[in-house]
């Protein structure tokens, strides 16, 4: 039986992890993500799972990756400087193809910044924080119910594509309390990673990905033995320094994501049917944009909203399509301008793109977005 609760966003993430079958958390508490660790420290032992608080953020993701290699569904959660510390091992997970869900509840930075103030300043760090060419999947919820749903979704994608997935929260959504209806967890399909169909002596850890480019993954301790390294490797996992191996591995890592964008990329449209101008907003800022659209409509301004739910890979097709449908796009975000650059690139001159940015520890208010929209229309009309 489903149950309806008043719940905080961070706690909805913990519930979503349990619903998806997560049975291991490794991390280090840091605000504004701490409630995720607190909740899982209570929930996981009741279902036979494991919660470990490590000595720092690096160890937190390290122990989670080790558990994933042993077949566990794992999570680590962090914020601000903790996300910076985890970057090297996020790259390791991408190259070694180790599933993991990494939650980052963004706060003002850089460095320790403003520990509990809202920000969306880690958008580019989520994409490019670790070094080298690599694909990444990042999802960004805008409500407490979506915190639950996208956590489950993050596990689906991580296990299906054998890759790290980032749940990119912000403090507004993480600490918000809303009504959420939780389905019976038994009714939620639990993602299972592809397992080898060959006997241990024939197993090659990075071979057999011809269909979806995702190789089967054997759990350590299951009788299969394979080598794991952050170096470019061959099909057995052993280092291979050749140019051929490097190119083939990187090409496959990108292709297994880019060939499945229709499955991975999710967006939402709000009142865009006849819109002449549109906001692009995500996370907590999207909630402001809904209200600004409604306020604009009351003034006779045909406004709408495109909300990226999958923030990486970029919803390039959807954003380009939007650029061909409206006269102007305003990108709203709580930073000095990060995602707006990607929107400009995708729109490619089809219409003007401007930024409504705020980075003073406060959320953008609907009236501020409406004022930005009114200013845009005045300029367009030559007033």
* pLDDT (tens digit per residue) in 235-284: 999 999 999 999 999 999 999 999 999 999 999 999 999 999 999 999 99
Q: Which of 365, 367, 174 is nearest to 283 (CA)?
A: 174
Q: What is the pLDDT of residue 383?
A: 42
Counting residues of the chain whose pLDDT is more than 90, the rounded percentage is 94
Q: Which of 367, 352, 356 is nearest to 120 (CA)?
A: 356
Single out the residue of 373, 370, 316, 371 nearest to residue 345, CA to CA: 316
Check: CB of residue 281 under 8 Å from CB of residue 303. Answer: no
- Residue 225 is predicted with a pLDDT of 94
pLDDT given for residue 211 in this prediction: 81
**Token pair for residue 159?**
């296990």
Burial class (CB in 10 A: 0-12, 13-18, 19+), 269: middle
Count of other CB atoms within 10 angstroms of residue 231:
13
Residue with structure tokens 């180790």?
A: 98
What is residue 208's predicted lDDT score, i.e. its pLDDT?
A: 74
Mean pLDDT calculated for residue range 170-199:
94
Single pTM value for the model: 0.97
The mean pLDDT value for 173-183 works out to 97
Q: Of 252, 251, 264, which is closest to residue 213 (Cα–Cα)?
A: 252
What's the mean pLDDT in 178-204?
94
What mean pLDDT value characterizes the chain? 96
Q: 3-state SS of the chain: helix, strand, coil percent to 5?
A: 40, 20, 40
User: What average pLDDT does range 163-192 have in this prediction?
Assistant: 95
CA distance 24 to 21: 9
Q: What is the mean pLDDT of residues 363-372?
A: 97
Which whole number is the average pLDDT over 109-121?
Answer: 94
Give the containing element (helix H, strand E) for 114. none
* Burial readout 31-48 (b: 16 or more C-beta within 10 A, e: otherwise): bbbbbbbebbbebbeeee
Is a pLDDT exceeding 70 seen at residue 322? yes
Burial class of 133 by CB neighbour count within 10 A (0 to 12, 13 to 18, 19+)? exposed
- pLDDT at residue 217 is higher than 60: yes
- Asked if residue 381 has pLDDT above 80, the reply is no
């Amino acid at each position: 039986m489903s149950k309806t609760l008043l719940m905080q966003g961070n706690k909805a993430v913990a519930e979503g992890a349990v619903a998806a079958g997560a049975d291991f958390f490794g991390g280090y508490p840091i605000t504004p993500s701490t409630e995720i660790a607190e909740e899982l420290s209570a929930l996981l032992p009741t279902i036979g799972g494991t919660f470990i608080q490590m000595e720092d953020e690096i160890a937190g993701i390290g122990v989670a990756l080790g558990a994933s290699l042993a077949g566990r569904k794992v999570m680590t959660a962090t914020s601000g400087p903790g996300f910076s510390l985890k970057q090297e091992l996020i790259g390791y997970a991408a190259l070694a193809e180790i599933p993991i869900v990494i939650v980052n509840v963004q706060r003002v930075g850089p460095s320790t910044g403003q520990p509990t103030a809202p920000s969306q300043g880690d958008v580019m760090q989520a994409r490019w924080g670790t070094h080298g060419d690599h694909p990444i999947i990042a999802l960004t919820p805008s409500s407490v119910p979506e915190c639950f749903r996208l956590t489950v979704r993050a596990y689906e994608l991580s296990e299906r594509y054998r890759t790290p997935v980032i749940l990119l929260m912000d403090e507004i959504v993480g600490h918000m309390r809303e009504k959420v209806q939780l389905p019976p967890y038994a009714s939620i399909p639990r993602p299972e990673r592809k397992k080898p169909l060959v006997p241990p002596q024939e197993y090659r850890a990075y071979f057999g990905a011809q269909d979806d480019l995702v190789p089967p993954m054997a759990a350590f301790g299951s009788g299969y033995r394979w080598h794991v390294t952050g170096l470019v490797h061959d099909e057995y996992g052993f280092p291979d320094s050749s140019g051929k191996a490097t190119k083939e591995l990187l090409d496959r890592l990108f292709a297994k994501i880019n060939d499945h964008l229709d499955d991975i990329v999710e967006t939402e449209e709000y009142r865009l049917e006849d819109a002449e101008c549109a906001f692009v907003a995500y996370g907590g800022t999207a909630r402001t944009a809904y209200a600004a659209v409604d306020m604009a409509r009351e003034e006779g301004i045909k406004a709408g909203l495109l909300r990226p739910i999958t923030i990486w890979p970029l919803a390039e097709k959807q954003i380009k399509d939007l650029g061909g449908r409206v006269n102007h796009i305003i990108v709203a975000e709580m930073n000095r301008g990060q995602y707006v650059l990607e929107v400009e690139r995708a729109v490619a001159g089809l219409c003007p793109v401007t930024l409504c940015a705020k980075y003073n520890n406060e959320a953008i208010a609907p009236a501020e977005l409406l004022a930005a929209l009114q200013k845009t229309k005045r300029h367009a009309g030559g007033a």
